[in-house]
Structure 1
């Protein structure tokens, strides 16, 4: 086997992905309504009114998917989309790192065998 694997069980990863997406979708609507980060600082220091409009190309402005009449569904769907994007980014990163590590091990051991 020449491919580096994080785990041999794909079903565990699929279950974790599904659980993560379900939790993101169900719990996102009940996230804290209080401002965070820069928005909180802007409120504390009195320059919140200077904020401009959200950019028209923003994929999920204000953490809500536009065009859906129910707030809980708009926010829940935004949570699912965000978790899905992060899953894809993490998967691609790990695949790239595993691929590089596998190539480095193959070069280190000459015949492609890996040392345990």
Structure 2
């Protein structure tokens, strides 16, 4: 039986892609639309937008801007980078967990299976 395909062993390529992703997220996030998204628009249209003015424990980066930074492009750009970093950590954790489970399931199996 053949071994499963390897995505790539070229770590340099993945590192370059990760760095470019972080840079692009940091730059492009500054140019995101200032207009309300779907949920904010519904809240505005129905008159309950003011109820959401208080910070929430689940809103880690309120308004997609890091507090305490005065330069607009930096506070928005860094918020984009933080978002990418958090997403990377979540996905990395999930893939590590899934990889370990797959390895645990394959323990004791030989490379040669009878046909």
Could you say which TM-score interval applies, normalised by the shorter chain? 0.7 to 0.9
Deviations 1:59-94 (A, max 9, x none): 321111111111111000000000011011111111
Whole-angstrom distance in 2 between the partners of 1:103 and 1:87 = 24
1:54-93 matches, cutoff 5 A: 54-55=55-56, 58-93=59-94
Q: 1:57 to 1:104 in 2, by over 3 A?
A: closer
Let me know the Cα RMSD of the aligned residues: 2.3
Report deviation, 1:102. Answer: 1.5
Q: 1:114 to 1:97 in 2, by over 3 A?
A: farther
Alignment coverage as a number of residue pairs: 109
Q: Which runs of 5+ in 2 are unaligned?
A: 1-5
Report deviation, 1:38. Answer: 2.0
| Range 47-56 or range 83-92, more displaced | 47-56
Contact 1:24 1:83 in 2 (8 A): yes
Q: Which runs of 5+ in 1 are unaligned?
A: none
Identify the residue that residue 51 of structure 2 maps to in structure 1.
Answer: 50
| Range 47-56 or range 71-80, more displaced | 47-56
Q: 1:56 to 1:104 in 2, by over 3 A?
A: closer
Contact 1:28 1:79 in 2 (8 A): yes
Deviations 1:3-46 (A, max 9, x none): xx653121122111101100000111100111113212101222
Displacement over 2 Å in runs of 4+ = 49-52, 55-59
Q: 1:6 to 1:102 in 2, by over 3 A?
A: farther
